[in-house]
């Protein structure tokens, strides 16, 4: 049988029988990733360690049980959310060979939590470290520009993410340019390649925003986006970064460090650009509003122009001249009307006066008036002569009385004047000067009454009856010299000399 040739079906059947009989029920410990739950309730995931991985299928019928099939021990129920966190679990089940795909898988009957896996622990440790460094601080995150015209796209050239992104962006935005920076998005060298692509996009100073995207995958498939070098590149990027990595439930350190996270690559395109139809509709609305605003503005300007034209016409010299001409015509009309009325009134008054004069100037009435006037004139003449003679007599008597009273008053005034003149002569300093006394003054015209404040060399003026002397003090003596000067008859003080001046 060693040289027998097996068909694929035969060898897969023997493999299936060998596995199922050799391992009827087995417990396997490993880290869970790539969890997928179907609408039927079946769940598919991968159980792995550092060196190998095993596909697992957990059917809905077995998921309802939460106890050890061998011992009957009850465990806490494991949910999809718990498994998606990527921890370490212990799975109980049977090994089976799926012939249609030629793969081996574990048909899981029970799942028990066994602590967090190595990748999950590394993720949480690095997450806490970056959080302390401020990588996830909301204050440092920059706003993503709306409807950018220059986008740097960092992803794989062959992945489904770029197709989904370009498909959505084709119907969104207006005249946008997308520059692709191809890079690895999975594997050991992916982290360094992603960091280089981010640095290159920033160094070109072209893009308005950097978009970092990748399709869904397990935790180990997305692990390159959890590396420190990628987080540092996103944190240090000079351009805002939009990250859309994996599915909605997938979170990486690059997502948390980016300025904005999108749930999927498709969602990233939706965040960047509005639907083109919506933008065109908004553009049409804005255009209609702009046209309406322009029309309203032009209508307002037209109305204002008409108003200014009317105001200018009212203020123009021609309009003012027209108004003055109209006022002149009205004044002329009023003058003519009033002049005619005035002339008519005066003519009527003249006729009335003329008629009265004619009646008054009748010959017989005129003779009587002249005779009366002559009679009154004669009476007035005689009366005036009599009154004038009486007034002359009264005037002569008053004149005589006035002359007598005036003479008497003048005599009294002369008598009083003579008395006052005698008193004045007795009190006048000139009388004393005539008797030999003198008045001494300084050059400022102040009387010198004592020797206090006088010194030799000072100039003084000595006033005599017939003139004055300008003298210089040669010496100042006390009271005995004053009495000695009095004995000399009022002459200038001894020691003084000067010149006489009128």
Three-state secondary structure call for residue 108: strand
Phi and psi at residue 98, in whole multiples of 5°?
-90, 100
Residue 118 is predicted with a pLDDT of 60
Same domain, 65 and 105: yes
Q: Looking at per-residue confidence, does 85 or 46 come out higher?
A: 46
* pLDDT band (50, 70, 90) for residue 2: low
Here the tokens at position 246 are 């994996």
Please tell me the number of Cα atoms within 13 Å of 136 on its side-chain side. Answer: 14
Residues 99 and 189 in one domain: no
Same domain, yes or no, for 103 and 156?
no
Taking CA atoms, 2 is separated from 5, 6, 8, 464, in Å, by 9, 10, 16, 183
The answer on 241 and 132 residing in a single domain is yes
pLDDT tens for each residue of 255-296:
999 999 998 899 999 999 888 888 788 888 888 899 999 999
Backbone angles phi, psi at 56, to 5 degrees: -130, 145
Q: Are residues 217 and 243 in the same domain?
A: yes
In degrees and rounded to multiples of 5, residue 31 shows phi and psi of -95, 135
DSSP sequence for 145-183: PSS-SEEEEEE-SSSHHHHHHHHHHTTBSSS-EEEEEE-
Starting from the edge strand earliest in sequence, which strands make up the sheet with 459-463, in order?
A: 439-442, 459-463, 468-473, 496-501
The dihedrals phi and psi of 10, each to the nearest 5 degrees, come to -65, -45
Judgement on whether residues 92 and 25 belong to the same structural domain of the protein: yes
Residue 195: inside a domain? yes
In terms of Cα–Cα distance, which of 143, 144, 166, 146 is closest to 278? Answer: 146
Region 244-252 average pLDDT: 81
pLDDT band at 496 (very low <50, low <70, confident <90, very high): very low
Structural domain contains residue 326: no
- Residue % of the chain over a pLDDT of 70: 90
Do 178 and 62 share a structural domain? no
State the residue range of the domain holding 78: 8-116
So what's the pLDDT on residue 402? 87
- Burial of 20: CB neighbours in 10 Å, binned 0-12, 13-18, 19+: middle
Q: pLDDT band at 237, cuts 50/70/90?
A: very high
Closest CA to 97 of 14, 13, 24, 16: 16
DSSP state of 51: S
Cα 366 to Cα 183, 282, 356, 361, 380, distances in angstroms: 147, 115, 14, 6, 21
Q: Report the pLDDT value the prediction gives residue 121, as an integer from 0 to 100.
A: 67
Q: For residue 446, how far is the Cα from the chain centroid?
A: 78
- Mean pLDDT of all residues in 438-460: 85
Instruction: Please tell me the total count of domains within the chain.
Output: 3
Residues 107 and 227 in one domain: no
Residue 493 reports pLDDT greater than 70? no
Q: Give the chain's mean pLDDT.
A: 82
Same domain (yes/no): 130, 240: yes
Residue 399 lies in a domain: no
DSSP letter at 342 equals: H
Residue with more model confidence, 131 or 76:
131
Coil, strand or helix at 497: strand
- From 162, 141, 142, select the one nearest 153 (Cα to Cα): 162
Q: Does residue 322 belong to any structural domain of this protein?
A: no
CA distance 388 to 394: 10
Segment 15-30 shows an average pLDDT of: 83
Give the model confidence (pLDDT) of 86-134 as tens digits.
777 888 888 888 888 888 899 988 887 765 456 666 777 888 899 899 9
For the residues 430-453, what does the mean pLDDT come to? 81
Among candidate residues 233, 251, 273, the one where a domain is terminated = 273
The yes-or-no verdict on residue 219 having pLDDT over 80 is no
Is residue 500 scored above 50 in pLDDT? no
In a domain, 295, yes or no: no
Q: State the Cα–Cα distance between residues 171 and 273, nearest whole angstrom.
A: 9
For residue 380, is it within any domain?
A: no
Residue 376, Cβ density class (10 Å: 0-12 exposed, 13-18 middle, ≥19 buried): exposed
Whether 182 is covered by a domain: the verdict is: yes
CA distances from 319 to 315, 328, 329, 331 (A): 7, 14, 15, 18
Confidence (pLDDT) at 87:
73
Instruction: Report the b/e string of 215-238 with b at 16+ CB within 10 A.
Output: bbbbbbbbbbbbbeebbbbbbebe
Q: pLDDT at residue 136 above 80?
A: yes
In this structure, the answer to whether residues 127 and 249 fall within a common structural domain is: yes
Position 120 scores a pLDDT of 65
Spell out the residues 6+ positions from residue 396 whose beta carbon is closer than 8 angstroms to its own: none
Give a yes or no: residue 156 inside a domain: yes
pLDDT at 290: 92
Average pLDDT over residues 336-359: 85
Strand 177-182 relative to strand 150-155: parallel, antiparallel, unpaired?
parallel
Instruction: Determine the pLDDT at residue 494.
Output: 39
Give the pLDDT score at 75.
60
Cα 245 to Cα 229: distance, rounded to the nearest angstrom: 16
Q: Is the overall model pTM greater than 0.85, yes or no?
A: no
Shared domain for 237 and 125, answered yes or no, is: yes
Same domain, yes or no: 102 and 232:
no
Greater confidence (21 vs 431) lies with 21
Are the C-beta atoms of residues 273 and 173 closer than 8 Å to each other? yes
Using pLDDT thresholds of 50, 70 and 90, give the confidence band for residue 191. Answer: very high
CATH code of residue 223: 3.40.50.261
Q: Which residues contact 154 (CB under 8 A, 6 or more apart)?
A: 181, 183, 194, 197, 198, 201, 210, 211, 212, 213
Q: Is the pLDDT of residue 202 over 90?
A: yes
The larger pLDDT score, comparing residue 389 to residue 155, is at 155
* Range 182-202 average pLDDT: 92
Domain-ending residue, one of 251, 273, 295: 273
Q: Does the pLDDT of residue 326 top 70, yes or no?
A: yes
Residue 213 near residue 244 (C-beta atoms within 8 A)? yes
Last residue of a domain, one of 273, 297, 313: 273
Q: How confident is the model at residue 495 (pLDDT cuts 50, 70, 90)?
A: very low
CATH code of the domain in which 60 resides? 2.40.50.140
């Amino acid at each position: 049988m060693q040289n027998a040739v097996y068909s694929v079906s035969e060898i897969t059947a023997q493999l299936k029988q060998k596995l199922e009989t050799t391992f009827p029920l087995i417990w396997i410990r490993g880290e869970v990733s790539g969890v997928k739950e179907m609408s039927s309730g079946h769940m598919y995931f991968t159980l792995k360690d550092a060196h190998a991985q095993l596909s697992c299928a957990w059917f809905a019928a077995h998921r309802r049980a939460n106890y050890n099939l061998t011992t009957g021990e009850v465990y806490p129920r494991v949910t999809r959310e718990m498994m998606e966190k990527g921890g370490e679990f212990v799975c109980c089940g049977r090994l089976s060979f799926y012939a249609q795909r030629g793969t081996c898988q574990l048909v899981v009957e029970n799942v028990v939590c066994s602590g967090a896996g190595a990748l999950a622990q590394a993720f949480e440790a690095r997450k806490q470290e970056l959080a302390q460094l401020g990588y996830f601080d909301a204050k440092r995150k920059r706003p993503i520009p709306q409807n950018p015209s220059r986008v740097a796209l960092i992803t794989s050239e062959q992945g489904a993410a770029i197709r989904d992104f370009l498909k959505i962006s084709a119907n969104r935005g207006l005249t946008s340019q997308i520059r692709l920076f191809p890079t690895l998005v999975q594997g050991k060298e992916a982290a360094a390649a992603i960091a280089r692509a981010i640095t290159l996009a920033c160094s070109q100073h072209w893009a308005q925003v950097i978009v970092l995207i990748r399709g869904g995958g397990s935790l180990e498939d997305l692990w390159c986006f959890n590396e420190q070098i990628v987080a540092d590149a996103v944190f240090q990027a000079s351009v805002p970064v939009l990250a859309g990595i994996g599915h909605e439930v997938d979170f990486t350190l690059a997502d948390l460090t980016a300025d904005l996270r999108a749930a999927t690559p498709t969602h990233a395109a939706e965040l960047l650009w509005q639907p083109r139809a919506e933008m065109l509709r908004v553009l049409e609305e804005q255009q209609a509003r702009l046209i309406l605003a322009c029309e309203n503005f032009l209508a307002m300007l037209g109305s204002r122009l008409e108003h200014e034209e009317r105001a200018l016409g009212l203020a123009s010299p021609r309009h003012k001249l027209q108004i003055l001409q109209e006022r002149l015509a009205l004044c002329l009309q009023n003058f003519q009307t009033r002049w005619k009325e005035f002339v008519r009134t005066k003519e009527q008054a003249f006729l009335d006066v003329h008629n009265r004069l004619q009646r008054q100037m009748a010959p017989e009435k005129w003779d009587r008036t002249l005779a009366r006037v002559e009679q009154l004139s004669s009476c007035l003449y005689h009366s005036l002569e009599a009154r004038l003679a009486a007034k002359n007599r009264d005037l002569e008597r008053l004149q005589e009385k006035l002359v007598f009273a005036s003479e008497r008053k003048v005599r009294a005034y002369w008598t009083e004047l003579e008395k006052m003149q005698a008193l004045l002569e007795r009190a006048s300093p000139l009388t004393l000067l005539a008797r030999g006394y003198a008045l001494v003054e300084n050059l400022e015209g102040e009387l010198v009454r004592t020797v206090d404040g006088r010194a030799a060399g000072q100039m003084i003026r000595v006033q005599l009856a017939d003139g004055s002397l300008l003298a210089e003090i040669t010496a100042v003596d006390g009271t005995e010299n004053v009495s000695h000067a009095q004995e000399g008859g009022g002459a200038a003080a001894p020691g003084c000399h000067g010149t006489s001046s009128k």
